[in-house]
Structure 1
Amino acid sequence: MKAYLVFEDGEVFPGEWIGSPREVPGEVVFTTGMTGYQEVVSDPSYAGQIVTFTYPLIGNYSTVPGEEESDAPQCAGVVMSELFEGDPHLKTWLDRHGVPGITGVDTRSVVKKVRTQGAVRGVIRSVPEPWSAEWPDPLSLEWVHRVSVKEPVTYQGKSPEALHVVLVDFGYKKSIREALLEAGCRVTVVPYTTDPATLAEMKPDGLLLSNGPGDPKALLPFLSGWQSLIGQIPTMGICLGHQLLALALGGDTERLPFGHRGSNHPVKELTTGRVMITSQNHGYAVKADSLNPKEWQITHKNINDGSVEGIMHRNLPVTAVQFHPEAHPGPSDAAFLFERFVKQMTEAKEVVMHG
């Protein structure tokens, strides 16, 4: 059955429906990874976005139940050049959760359009006609609200003395939680609306601000008062959480031309010169010139465009990275960032215990 990816400027890319026809608008983005399609469509950071896969054949190594980054597909829709028909699970999984898709598309041309024009919106539909309804608001909290937990959930550590990490959920990936549990921590996942006083009552050893979808400035109303908690205990931010930490402590963010999405983005650690190949998914970045150099040290930069990929506060135990140190679906040199976070928590707890 014919389907069409229709951009807001009227340009049309024809293809065929994946699963049941469902019309959905969203920001059209692309991901450059050669693997990880199962993780991509279930990553909450893609909420509200139509994901274009640059790899030409999707589904060719099957899917593994339990390897998803969340309980269901989270993106608004998917665009593919070709879908391998030998494994029907991906198609039925998307269809069961109401995520439309289109295959047989000239994805190379779609990506060139996004790279040239920047942030563009489109709709997957049954007719090659422009979208006349209202487009999603990029500053809406709808996407974060949709993917965040509604009540606190605690995952027990390996021992009663386990370090307690409160994970503020803006749309966290399951592999972040699993990395903390593997490090021996007890993890409490809380809604993004949880106020700082409630967080303090949980007596965490560490605070982690998660990844998530959308413009970080949409969350500015929730950052007031956080300064009293951030830095009082070791604090870490990942992706959207990285941007929010910068905003909460006086920095600023900006929109990237077409974002970084994929598992093959080179990042340089400035203190060592080491380059890591990282997993990323974001459309915004921290503005380097907004960070007071007396308070912040830029620790990582993107090799391709020089954007800020990591920061560390000079006076507070606060670190943040734009990329994903859990690097699912495999280990990475970046995993040491979790080890550093655990070390900070351990040392801070020892200071409290021994005075």
Structure 2
Amino acid sequence: MSDAYVALEGGSVVAARCRAPGTSHGELVFTTAYTGYEESLTDPSYEEQVLTFSYPLIGNYGVRSERFESGRVHPRAVVARELTDDVAEWLTEEGVPAVDRLDTRDLVGEIREGGAMKCGVSAGPDASPEDAKAALAECPGMSDYTDIGAQVSVSAQKTYPGDGDADTEVALVDCGAKESIVKSLVERGATVHVLPYDVSPGEVSDLAPDVLFISNGPGDPANFEAAESLVSEFVGEVPLAGICLGQQIIARALGGSTAKMDFGHRGVNQPVRDLRSEKVVMTTQNHGYTVADPGDLEVTQVNVNDDTPEGLESDDLRVLTRQYHPEANPGPNDTLGFFDDVLDMVDCRTPVAAD
């Protein structure tokens, strides 16, 4: 007899085994990653989503906090073919419902056919299909989370001194930043000021940064109006960089537009082609929205599978963005040079004057 249920937006209910009890709801998405489950589960970009792992066994090398990308698990629930006890115990401690022993191949196929969808999850000794359906009925759409940034951002500035003698100052707007982004910049000598997602232009000016960096994060980029306004304020005055959601926000601020994808890109084997060199690299990705119109920016890299923009640039405006995650946690490491390229923009900057 089943003690867990997943109710899908299309009307079906899938029976499963409870691995961490609870009732929740969210947007049902899947990742094809076969490693990096700790990084995925602590990635703030999964906030308000239910994460399905397509790889059949999750947890086969344990759980180690040094691999975490934030201080907590972000998906509202977790679905897998089989979860090890280590992962199940971790999710139980985190209060995140988790289920396994269901056909994730069929579930992923349904998401690919119908797109990312709302779902409800009920797990535990008293779980029922009706509880899962009730949770589903309460689930908003991703665009309805109009202040999702507040759930994942720092509430006050945090500063991380750079390694070595470099004096580069990066103002990183935290829309849900992974810790490995900060680490990648610090390791290259940059001092990183992590700022709230709704930081004001005046607060950024007071820092007089060498680079303004917009991070990754969850949800619809249209709901990050403060970060978009910040980009509009400083474009042309200070080099701009962005990753994932950050690319989308920067494109919107510079006359472009974004759109929701059917089921997004989530995994560690997404091929990206550079339009200048024709070189193809493998990348880590986690996003459900994409740039539909780059506005004032040039598309320099595209996804090999669907031609969606993976890199945007402007030499005149000193803008450099990537849709994928070049910090490469859990990997591959093909694109780590992005952070060097971002810091190289400092040489041609016009400093932002402090008020």
Q: Deviations over 1:63-84 (max 9, x none)?
A: 2221100011111110000112
Match of 1:99 in 2: 96
- Aligned twin of 2:13: 12
Offset from partner CA, 1:165-203 (integer Å, 9 cap, x none):
011000000110000011111001000110122111111
Q: TM-score when scaled to structure 2? A: 0.92
Is residue 310–residue 322 contact of structure 1 (8 Å, CA) maintained in 2?
yes
Partner of 2:305: 304
AA aligned opposite 2:11: G
Within the candidate set 212, 215, 223, 2:217 is matched to: 212
The 8 Å contact of residues 212 and 240 in structure 1, kept in 2 or not, is answered as yes
Q: Which residue is 1:200 aligned to?
A: 205
| Partner Cα distance (2:63, 2:226) in 1 | 39
Q: Which residues in structure 2 correspond to 1:128-277 (within 5 Å)?
A: 128-129=129-130, 130-131=133-134, 133-139=137-143, 140-159=145-164, 161-220=166-225, 222-224=227-229, 226-277=231-282
Aligned equivalents of 2:332, 2:52: Cα separation in 1 = 25
Query: Matched residues in 2 for 1:56 and 1:115: separation?
Result: 17
Residues 26-78 of structure 1, C-alpha deviations (whole Å, 9 max, x = no match): 00000001100010000000000000000000111112221100011111110
Distance 1:263 1:330 in 2: 7
TM-score by length of 1: 0.92
Structure 2 CA distance, aligned partners of 1:196 and 1:220? 13
Q: Is residue 46 from structure 1 mapped to residue 43 from structure 2 by the alignment? A: no
Rounded to whole Å, the distance in 1 between the matches of 2:221 and 2:297 is 19
- Amino acid in the other structure paired with 2:54: T
1:3 correspondence with 2:4? yes
Give the corresponding residue for 1:55.
55
CA distance in 2, matches of 1:331, 1:279: 7
Q: 1:327-352: per-residue Cα shift (whole Å, max 9, x none)?
A: 11246221111111111114437x99
- Partner SS, residue 273 of structure 1: coil
Quote the offset at 1:9 in angstroms: 2.5
Q: Retained in 2: the 8 A contact 1:196–1:226?
A: no
Kindly indicate whether the alpha-carbon contact (under 8 Å) linking 2:283 and 2:332 is maintained by their aligned counterparts in 1. no
- 1:296 corresponds to which letter in structure 2? L
Residue 325 of structure 1: how far off its partner (Å): 0.6
CA contact (8 A) 2:198 2:226 kept: no
What CA distance in whole angstroms lies between the structure 1 residues aligned with 2:194 and 2:230?
20
Instruction: Read off the aligned partner of 1:215 and give its amino acid letter.
Output: D
Between 39-48 and 307-316, the greater mean CA deviation after superposition: 307-316
Q: CA deviation at 1:296?
A: 2.2
2:180 is paired with a residue of what secondary structure? helix
> Is the 1:296–1:314 Cα contact (8 Å) retained in structure 2?
no
- CA distance 1:228–1:176, change in 2 (3 Å): same
State the Cα deviation string for residues 255-314 of structure 1 (Å, max 9, x = none): 111000011100101100111110000001001xx334xx42111100111111111024
- Gaps of at least 5 residues in structure 2 are none
Mapped to 2, the partners of 1:123 and 1:42 lie a distance apart of: 21
Report how far residue 318 of structure 1 moved. 0.5
Partner of 1:120: 117
Structure 2 counterpart SS, 1:71: coil
* Cα offset, 1:225, TM superposition: 5.4
Which one is further off, 254-263 or 134-143?
134-143
CA distance in 2: counterparts of 1:286 and 1:205, whole angstroms: 26
| Cα shift at 1:160 | 5.7
Query: The residue matched to 2:232 in structure 1 has which SS?
Result: helix
- Find the aligned partners of 1:339 and 1:221 in 2 and give their Cα distance: 27
Q: How big is the alpha-carbon RMSD for the aligned residues of Structure 1 and Structure 2? A: 1.7
Contact map agreement 1:297 1:314 (CA 8 A) in 2: no
Number of the residue aligned with 2:34: 34
Partner SS for 1:283: strand
Deviations 1:92-118, CA, capped at 9 Å, x for gaps? 221112111101111001100100001
Which string of whole-angstrom CA distances, capped at 9 and with x for unpartnered residues, describes residues 231-274 of structure 1? 31111010000000000111000111100001110010110011
Give the Cα–Cα distance (whole angstroms) in 1 for the partners of residues 226 and 195 of structure 2: 17
- Give the equivalent residue in structure 2 for 1:284: 289
Q: Give distance in 2, aligned partners of 1:106 and 1:273.
A: 39
Match for residue 346 of structure 2? 345
Detail structure 1 runs of 4+ shifted over 6 Å in the superposition.
none
* Larger CA deviation: 126-135 vs 173-182: 126-135
